[in-house]
């Protein structure tokens, strides 16, 4: 982003594994504006305050649509972001899910935009027999207030054959 006296950037990193309790983050900058060089910073990092403010839920809940199974494994709600780790199991011949969002999240009041998605990344994949399994992490903006529960509904844009959402095609996850 360009500002009055230069540029400002932001890089968000979501590691696949949990970070250590404390560590030194090494930051190396190789160019500032037109000036090339090498500037190194070491920033001590502690999870003490974020861990205290982070809520983790391990629902391990599954919904099946045709031959596709979606399992919600872990939800972490932190002040900076919310992550949902989920798994997709489907036949090897099936097309990959476009956009990687097989479900829509609603809060306990029926609002869909309370958890606004930022990104979805594959964490792992494997094939066994005629099935393939993908593990994903989706990052959301954390809302100002945390709802009592979330309702994950099958996304009709991804599964058009299920455009009428019924209670069999949704997962209810309590966050308390």
pLDDT tens digits, one per residue of 21-42: 999 999 999 988 789 999 999 9
For 86-112, the pLDDT digits (tens) are 998 988 887 665 455 778 888 898 887
Most trustworthy range by pLDDT among 12-16, 32-36, 70-74: 70-74
Rounded to whole angstroms, the Cα distance separating 23 from 46 reads 7
- And the tokens for 27? 């930051």
Say which DSSP state 148 is in: S
Using the predicted structure, report yes or no on whether residue 2 has a pLDDT greater than 70: no
Q: How far is CA 36 from CA 29, 30, 98, 111, 144, in A?
A: 9, 6, 40, 48, 41
**pLDDT > 70 in the chain, percent:** 85
* pTM over the 0.85 mark: no
Rounded to whole angstroms, the Cα distance separating 120 from 66 reads 23
**Mean pLDDT, residues 53-57 taken together:** 93
For 114-125, the pLDDT digits (tens) are 778 888 888 888
Q: What is the pLDDT of residue 93?
A: 80
């Amino acid at each position: 982003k360009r500002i009055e006296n230069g540029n400002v950037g932001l890089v968000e990193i979501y590691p696949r594994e949990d970070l250590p309790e404390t560590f030194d983050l090494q930051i190396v900058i190789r160019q500032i504006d037109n000036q090339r060089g090498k500037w190194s910073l070491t920033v001590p990092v502690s999870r003490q305050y974020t861990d205290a403010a982070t809520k983790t839920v391990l629902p391990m809940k599954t919904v099946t649509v045709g031959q596709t199974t979606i399992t919600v494994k872990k939800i972490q709600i932190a002040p900076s972001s919310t992550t949902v780790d989920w798994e997709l199991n489907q036949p090897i011949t099936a097309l990959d899910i476009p956009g990687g969002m097989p479900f829509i999240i609603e809060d306990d009041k029926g609002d869909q935009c309370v958890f606004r998605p930022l990104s979805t990344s594959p964490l792992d994949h494997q094939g066994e027999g005629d099935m393939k399994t993908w593990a994903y992490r989706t990052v959301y903006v954390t809302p100002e207030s945390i709802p009592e529960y979330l309702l994950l509904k099958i996304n009709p844009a991804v599964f058009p054959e299920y455009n009428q959402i019924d209670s069999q095609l949704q997962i209810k996850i309590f966050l308390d």
